[in-house]
């Protein structure tokens, strides 16, 4: 479809672009103190964007802008996830005290730009588009990680982020250049066809190039061995941004990986054959399985030793990336389904845990385990809600985290005996994670002096806490609507040969 | 000399030099220069393939976008490094260690 025709399918992105421009403009008219009101404009724009996505009928899949973007339910699903997490993060940003004394207008407009980049990531089916989308998201997140200009830790986070980010996208780019040379095109579908006709040493070149490209994708979802930036950036960045980086870019990172594996290595995104043929002689399922095992084991083992809850959550997010990667070696529609469901559940529990950290810090506490000592007695509601998030992150029923993990394990076991070991390692890892998640609960309720005074959070904080806690429990008991939504969304654009 | 292999070899050498620079240099600016080398080696690949492969314009377009993105990335990275210098009085990446390793 040519450029002009495509525009009528591009309303969400157009509205989003207008939102960004409006947010930057209105911010000029606010004084430093009122700059935070830009958030309302961004929130309004995001809600309009979501309505536009909802109204669109993406059932009829097609490509936009000369085959650069795919327009399908799969992309719409990830766009919705992006908007959901951005709206939640903008709301929790209101309650942090880390941004005090900073002009926050740009903070919200930058977030809206990042949403645009993530929309492109969710729908790109062209190497140029993928590169641009990943760079848009990365460059904006470098700025957001270093938003606290006077803060040494935030500075360091931004420096490490920019070096690792630029380095890994450079490697990815080099891989893309080789793939372009082998296939003669940057379009996924042309690459897929060209790969079938590779001969001799071209196989080796393609293997090397796909490993380079995987480095760029792995960096976005912080999979080992491309995870080195994660703990430092997550600890140094402002906490709402940490929360944001741990859900939204990671979710679309998985969208990029699923689309790439299914379109370039697989059957063109049709999900017909449960075991997708791998035409190169590379054992992709085994490589991905090993990657997933290393990722979750390292994340969990290092999380055990942390003294800062924020840093512990950073390592736990690496471990969760490992759990989600577990479903990828299945290379089946069930695997993709499980990852999508998990991502949805993960948004609520992880953002909720980070919100508790933000709230405790804004009440004069800190981020370390010592600061949480006796919290359950001082602020019982916060303590109980945090316990729910920890249960859910561990994956104990009846919480959303359990349902997510259940589908992941089910998809792995369904493949057959050759992947049983992966499920067993995953189960052992869940047990390890129980230790450090429950350390939070233990510190909150069993240590410290029972406090005389009970602090009840303000109504708005309570409302936010329950926005995260209620879905975390509710989707653990009744997840049918979500499951239906995910299975309807599991429809990628298919090339009609 | 004027064939595809020459260009690809030069690109591969540039890529390796860039990798080497990023890994061994401790000065943040030098690390950035290493990253630029990597990006430009990819550019050289794109243009060489576009010229000798008799392909469509995608290679040229890709190289143009990479140059634009490299400029944007350098702008942000240099701003962050200036900020680091103002706060730490050094741009040695090893001395910037406020966060626990």
**Are A162 and B76 an interchain contact pair (Cβ–Cβ within 8 Å)?**
yes
pLDDT in tens, A83-93: 999 999 999 99
Neighbouring residues of A191: CB distance < 8 A, sequence distance ≥ 6: A127, A179, A183, A185, A264
C-alpha A497/C-alpha A279 separation (Å) is 18
Angle CA(B25)–CA(A250)–CA(B92) in degrees, nearest 5?
Answer: 15
Q: A382 lies in a domain? A: yes
Rounded-to-integer distance, Cα A385 and Cα A360, Å = 13
Residue-wise pLDDT tens digits, A185-201? 899 888 888 887 777 78
- Note the pLDDT of residue A274: 47
Mind listing the pLDDT tens digit for each residue in A304-329?
999 999 999 999 999 999 999 999 88
| Contact state of B42 with A176 under an 8 Å Cβ cutoff | yes
Burial class (CB in 10 A: 0-12, 13-18, 19+), B100: exposed
pLDDT at A385: 95
Selected residues 36-95 of chain B with any CB under 8 Å from a CB in chain A: 38-39, 41-43, 45-46, 48-49, 53, 55-56, 58-59, 61-62, 65-66, 69, 72-73, 76-77, 80-81, 83-84, 87-88, 93
Chain A positions in Cβ-Cβ contact with residue B32 (cut-off 8 Å): 163, 166
DSSP assignment of A60-82, as one string?
S-EEETTTTEEESHHHHHHHHHH
Give the right CATH number for B4-88 from 1.10.10.10, 1.10.287.3510, 2.170.150.20, 3.90.1150.10.
Answer: 1.10.287.3510
Query: In this predicted model, which residue has the larger pLDDT, A136 or A207?
Result: A136
* Tokens linked to A174: 């080099």
Q: Is residue A8 exposed (0-12), middle (13-18) or buried (19+ Cβ within 10 Å)? A: exposed
The answer to the question of residue A468 being in a domain is: yes
In a domain, A441, yes or no: yes
Q: Which residues of B touch A155 (CB under 8 A)?
A: 80, 83-84, 87-88, 96, 98
Q: How far is B75 from chain A (nearest CA, A)?
A: 10
CB contacts, 8 Å: A162 with chain B? 73, 76-77, 80
Position A249 scores a pLDDT of 95
Cα dihedral A368, A228, A100, A114 sign: negative
pLDDT at A429 over 90: yes
Chain B interface mutation, best of A137, A154, A177, highest count of B Cβ atoms under 10 Å? A177
- Count of A-B CB contacts under 8 Å: 123
For chain A, give the mean pLDDT. 90
Is A65 part of the contact surface with chain B (CB cutoff 8 Å)?
A: no
If you measure CA to CA, which chain A residue comes closest to B35? A167
If you average pLDDT over residues B79-88, what whole number do you get? 94
pLDDT number for residue A112: 96
pTM of the predicted model as reported, rounded to 2 decimal places: 0.94
Enumerate residues 131 to 170 of chain A having a beta carbon within 8 A of any beta carbon in chain B.
131-132, 135, 138-139, 142-143, 146, 149-150, 152-153, 155-159, 162-163, 166-167, 170
A494, pLDDT greater than 80? no
The rounded distance, in Å, linking the Cα atoms of A12 and A8 is 10
Q: Which residues from A are below 8 Å from B64, CB to CB? A: none
Is residue A236 in a domain?
Answer: no
The pair of structure tokens assigned to A20 is 């960004």
User: pLDDT, tens digit, for every residue of A208-247?
Assistant: 898 899 999 999 999 888 888 999 999 999 999 999 999 9
Higher pLDDT, A455 or B70: B70
Question: What pLDDT was estimated at residue A62?
Answer: 85
Domain ranges of chain B: 4-88
Average pLDDT value for residue range A449-460: 84
Q: Summarize pLDDT for A465-480 with one digit per residue, the tens.
A: 999 999 999 999 999 9
Among A52-56, A410-414, A491-495, the range scoring the smallest mean pLDDT is A491-495
Show the beta-strand stretches assigned E in A255-303: none
Is A391 domain-assigned? yes
Q: Which two tokens stand for residue A195?
A: 């790969």
CA distance A239 to chain B (A): 15
Selected for mutation to probe chain A from B38, B42, B88 (highest A CB count within 10 Å) is: B42
Q: How high is the pLDDT of residue A281?
A: 62
Query: How confident is residue A497, by pLDDT bands cut at 50, 70 and 90?
Result: very low
β-pairing, A69-71 with A62-64?
A: antiparallel
Least CA distance to B72: which residue of chain A? Answer: A139
Q: CA dihedral in degrees (A323, A326, A332, A337; nearest 10)?
A: 0
pLDDT of res. A267? 64
Alpha carbon of A34 to those of A18, A22, A30, A147, A464: distances in Å?
21, 16, 6, 18, 22
First to last CA, chain A: 16
- How many angstroms separate the CA of residue A24 from the nearest CA in chain B? 18
How many structural domains does chain A have?
A: 1
pLDDT at res. A272: 54
Domain assignment present for A101: no
Smallest CA–CA distance, residue A12 to chain B, in Å, is 24
A236-293 pLDDT, tens digit per residue, is: 999 999 999 999 999 999 999 999 888 887 766 566 554 455 555 667 788 889 999 9
Query: Does A224 fall in a domain?
Result: no
Nearest residue of chain A to residue B30 (CA atoms): A163
Asked if the Cβ–Cβ distance from A170 to B18 is below 8 Å, we say yes
**Average of per-residue pLDDT across A139-161:** 93
DSSP A263: I
Contact B100 A167 (CB under 8 A): no
Q: Is B10 on the interface with A (CB under 8 A)?
A: no
Q: Do B42 and A170 touch (CB under 8 A)?
A: yes
């Amino acid at each position: 479809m040519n450029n002009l025709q495509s525009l009528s399918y591009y309303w969400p992105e157009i509205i989003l672009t207008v939102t960004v421009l409006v947010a930057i403009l209105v911010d000029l008219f606010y004084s430093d103190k009122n700059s935070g009101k830009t958030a309302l404009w961004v929130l309004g724009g995001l809600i309009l964007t979501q309505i536009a996505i909802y109204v669109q009928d993406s059932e009829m899949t097609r490509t936009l802008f000369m085959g650069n973007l795919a327009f399908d339910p799969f992309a719409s699903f990830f766009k919705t996830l992006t908007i959901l997490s951005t709206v939640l993060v903008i709301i929790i940003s209101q309650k942090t005290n880390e941004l005090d004394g900073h002009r926050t207008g740009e903070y919200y407009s930058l977030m809206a730009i990042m949403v645009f980049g993530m929309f492109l990531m969710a729908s790109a089916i062209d190497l140029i588009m993928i590169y641009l989308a990943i760079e848009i998201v990365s460059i904006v997140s470098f700025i957001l990680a270093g938003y606290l200009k006077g803060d040494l830790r935030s500075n360091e986070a931004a420096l490490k982020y920019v070096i690792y980010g630029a380095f890994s996208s450079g490697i990815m780019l080099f891989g893309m250049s080789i793939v372009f040379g082998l296939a003669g095109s940057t379009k996924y579908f042309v690459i897929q066809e060209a790969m079938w006709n590779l001969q001799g040493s071209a196989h080796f070149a393609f293997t090397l190039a796909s490993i380079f490209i995987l480095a760029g994708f792995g960096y976005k979802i912080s999979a080992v061995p491309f995870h080195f930036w994660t703990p430092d950036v997550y600890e140094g960045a402002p906490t709402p941004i940490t929360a944001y980086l741990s859900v939204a870019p990671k979710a679309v990172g998985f969208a990029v990986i699923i689309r790439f594996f299914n379109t370039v290595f697989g059957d063109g995104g049709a999900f017909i054959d449960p075991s997708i043929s791998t035409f190169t002689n590379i054992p992709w399922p085994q490589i991905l399985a090993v990657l997933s095992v290393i990722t979750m084991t390292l994340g969990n083992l290092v999380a055990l030793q942390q003294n800062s809850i924020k840093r512990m959550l950073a390592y736990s997010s690496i471990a969760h990336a490992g759990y989600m990667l577990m479903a990828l070696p299945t290379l089946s529609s069930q695997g993709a389904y499980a990852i999508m469901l998990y991502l949805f559940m993960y948004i609520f529990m992880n953002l909720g845990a980070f919100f508790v950290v933000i709230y405790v810090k804004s009440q004069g506490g800190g981020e370390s385990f010592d600061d949480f000592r006796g919290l359950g007695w001082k602020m019982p509601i916060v303590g109980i809600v945090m316990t729910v998030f920890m249960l859910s992150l561990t994956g104990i029923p009846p919480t959303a985290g359990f349902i997510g993990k259940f589908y992941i394990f089910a998809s792995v076991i369904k493949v057959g005996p050759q992947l049983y070991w992966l499920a067993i390692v995953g189960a052992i890892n869940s047990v390890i994670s129980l230790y450090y998640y429950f350390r939070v609960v233990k510190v909150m309720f069993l240590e410290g002096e029972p406090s005389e005074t009970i602090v009840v959070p303000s109504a708005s904080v309570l409302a936010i806490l329950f926005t995260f806690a209620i879905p975390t429990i509710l989707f653990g008991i009744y997840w049918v609507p979500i499951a239906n939504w995910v299975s309807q969304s599991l429809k990628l654009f298919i090339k009609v040969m | 000399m004027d064939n595809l292999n020459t260009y690809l070899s030069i690109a591969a050498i540039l890529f390796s030099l860039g990798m080497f620079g990023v890994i061994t240099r401790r000065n943040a600016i030098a690390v950035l220069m290493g990253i630029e080398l990597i990006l430009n080696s990819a550019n050289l690949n794109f243009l060489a393939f576009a010229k000798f492969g008799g392909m469509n314009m995608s290679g040229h377009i890709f190289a143009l976008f990479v140059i634009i993105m490299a400029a944007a990335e350098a702008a942000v990275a240099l701003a962050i490094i200036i900020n680091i210098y103002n706060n730490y009085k050094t741009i040695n990446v090893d001395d910037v260690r406020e966060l626990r390793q």
